[in-house]
Amino acid sequence: MRILFTISASLWAWIVARLLVFGTKPQAIYWKPQLHADTWYRLTHIPAKIPHTLFTYIPVFIAFTSFTPLYIDNDLVHIWTVLLLVSEHTFVPIFVAHIHQENTITVWAINNLAMTGGLAYILKTQLALLSIIPKIILWTHLTYTQLYIYKYGIQMTTEYQERQPRAITV
């Protein structure tokens, strides 16, 4: 019965987050992050950035790393995890689209990192703690990325480079 609670809580958080971001559009449920060549993430130089192809799997990664804390029989952990899940699943589309101001997204990333650290602090079992460590690594990296963007800004277009003649060698 705990596994049904775990799955339903994770799905509920995912659906609520998507509805918060996109409204009641049917596409909201099926949205997945896609970072094409002309998006800010691919155009901006960010040291040690996550490969753009992995962004599609971040929501799934977030959901799976939350299964263990949801499975534990502790109401405080459940509430904390579900609130964190909704925040995380809401953050990913907003981070990809970058529709808010930089300081808002930066504070949000720091908040998610702090909440994940707080969840790790209140967990008592080592197995649950081991499942949270990858999430802490992810949020540390996303927070670092957002702080870097906050400091240096993002690049929305590429600089035009005029065509150069090619030297033909035989």
What digits encode the pLDDT tens for the residues 12-24?
A: 999 999 999 888 8
User: Who's near 12: CB < 8 A, 6+ residues apart?
Assistant: 82
Residue 47 domain-assigned (yes or no): yes
Residue 134 domain-assigned (yes or no): yes
State the pLDDT at residue 109: 93
Residue 168 domain-assigned (yes or no): no
Total number of domains constituting the chain = 1
- pLDDT by residue (tens digit) across 51-94? 888 888 999 999 999 998 988 888 888 899 999 999 999 998 88
Phi first, then psi, for residue 38 (nearest 5°) are -105, 15
Portion of the chain with pLDDT greater than 70, in percent: 95
CA dihedral 20, 60, 84, 12 (to 10 degrees): 50
CA dihedral 62, 76, 122, 139 (to 10 degrees): 20
Distance between CA atoms of residues 168 and 32, nearest Å: 45
Residue 145 domain-assigned (yes or no): yes
Residue 43 domain-assigned (yes or no): yes
User: Who's near 134: CB < 8 A, 6+ residues apart?
Assistant: 61, 65
Residue 170 domain-assigned (yes or no): no
Residue 160 domain-assigned (yes or no): no
Domain holding 78, by residue range, is: 2-152
User: Who's near 14: CB < 8 A, 6+ residues apart?
Assistant: 59, 63, 85, 89
State the pLDDT at residue 116: 93
Under the banding of pLDDT at 50, 70 and 90, the label for residue 97 is confident
State the pLDDT at residue 87: 95
Range 107-116 burial, b when 16+ CB lie within 10 A, else e = ebbeebbebb
- Burial (Cβ within 10 Å: 0-12, 13-18, ≥19) of residue 150: middle
Residue with tokens 């659906």: 15
Residue 161 domain-assigned (yes or no): no
